[in-house]
Each structure stands twice: as C-alpha cells, then as structure tokens.
Structure 1
Amino acid sequence: MLVSAGLAQAASAQGGPDKQAIIATYADIAHAGYTDSVALARDLQKAVDTLIATPSAAQMAAARQAWLAARVPYMQTEVFRFGNAIVDDWEGKVNAWPLDEGLIDYVAPAYGNSSGDNPVYAANVIANP
C-alpha cells in the first residue's frame, strides 16, 4: 500500500506515468510468457511424438507431465488475449472450462466408482458415446 502511494506521488510529481514505459513493460511481460509457452509446447510435442512412436506407461506419464508443464505459461498468457476471435474459435477445444468431461479418459483410483449425486459417475463416455 505504501509502495503504491509512493509510486502514485512520484508519477504525479513527474507529470504522470510514462505511457511508453508501461507499454514496453507490458509487451516484455507478454513476450516472456509467450516465449515460455512456445518452448514448453515444443517439449509437449516431443513427448507426444515419443509416446506415439514408442507407446508405454512411462512415455504416457512423460506426455502427461509435459502437458501439465506447458499448461502453466499458457494460462499466464491468457490475460493478454482480448478481442482475438481467431483464437477464440479453437481455444475452447483445447482449454474447455468448465472441463469438457467427455474428454477425460482416466481418473485416479482414489476417485472411486460411484456417487450418490451422479448416476453416470463412472460412465465411459469415450468408449460409449
């Protein structure tokens, strides 16, 4: 709070914030986020390619971990997306929220196999459309 007040006073004393500096900082932050996102998306692609070429439980675990890692910077870049209809056309297919339950193909064993609240709790909607 004190830092904000100090910055506001400093900006006022100097005639307001430096708009070009704000834009440059914003662009730098966005660029760093997208750079991280692209790098980890490439890692994910390699993990998926390896899984397809040599399927195994270990390769599946590696692909899952790569997806989780790639998801973090992707989520951080969403703040920079506004008014981009091109992305909005396909984005829901890879980032459905709430989660597109029809795409779940496994759950942790601790999840269980029944629920009093949901009669189709354990339905396999992928194998049984």
Structure 2
Amino acid sequence: MLVSAGLAQAASAQGGPDKQAIIATYADIAHAGYTDSVALARDLQKAVDTLIATPSAAQMAAARQAWLAARVPYMQTEVFRFGNAIVDDWEGKVNAWPLDEGLIDYVAPAYGNSSDGNPVYAANVIANP
C-alpha cells in the first residue's frame, strides 16, 4: 500500500506517468517474449525434423522436450495478443481449450482411463484413425 501510494504521489507530483516510457517498456517485454518464443520454436522445428529423418525413441523424447520448452515462452506471450485477429485466426488450431484428449498420442498413466466429461477420453484418433 505504501509503495502504491508513494508511486501515485510521485506520478501526480510529476504530472502523471510517462506514457511513452510505459509503452516502450511494454513493447520491450513483449519483444523479449516473442524473441524467446521464436528461438525455442526453431529448436522445436529442428527436433521434429531430426525425429522425422531418423525416428527413434531418443529423438521422440528430444522432440517432446523441445515442445515443452517452446511452450513456456509461447504461453507468456499470450497476454500481449488481445484483439490480434491475425493470431486469433489460427491460434485455436494450435492451442485449443477444452482440449480433445483423443487427439493426444499419449498421457501419463496417472490420468486414468476414463473421464465423466468426455466419453471418448481414451480414444487415440492419431493411432486409430
């Protein structure tokens, strides 16, 4: 509370917040997030290309790990895309929720074999088209 009050008092004493500084900081944070996301997406693409070229359990594990790593900065950039129709047009195909569990090729055994909310929970439409 004291910090907020102090900041508000300082801002009003100086004529309000510096809007250009706020915008610049926002843009810098967004740029850093998208830069990280692109770099890890490229790593993911390399891992997938390697998996396709030389399929193996080790390459599959590496691709899965690359996906997990790439997902973190991608999720962090979602806060910056409100009203961005260019992203909204395709994003639901990549990051849909609620997720159709039948489109996942594997899940941890702890998730079980059934779901009250989804009668085709255990369907593996990738392995059984």
- State TM-score, norm by structure 2: 0.89
SS in 2 for 1:106: coil
Residues 102, 121 of structure 2: 8 Å contact kept? no
Residue 72 of structure 1 and its aligned partner are, at CA, apart by 0.8
1:12 deviates by 0.6
C-alpha separation between the residues in 2 aligned to 1:72 and 1:115? 27
Q: Please tell me whether the aligned partners of residues 113 and 121 of structure 2 are also in contact (alpha carbons under 8 angstroms).
A: yes
Q: CA deviation at 1:115?
A: 5.8
CA RMSD, 1 decimal: 1.9
Give 1:119 shift. Answer: 5.0
Separation in structure 2 between the aligned mates of residue 118 and residue 27 of structure 1, nearest angstrom = 41
1:64-94, CA deviations, whole angstroms, 9 ceiling, x for partnerless residues?
1111111111111111102221211111111
Unaligned runs of 5+ in 1: none
Q: How many residues align?
A: 129
For 2:54 and 2:105, locate their aligned partners in 1 and report how far apart those are by CA, in whole Å: 20
Given that 2:105 and 2:126 are in contact with CA atoms closer than 8 Å, whether structure 1 keeps it comes out as yes
Could you report, residue by residue, the CA deviation over 1:2-43 in whole angstroms, capped at 9, with x for unpaired residues? 222211111011010001100100000000000100011011
TM-score using structure 1 length: 0.89
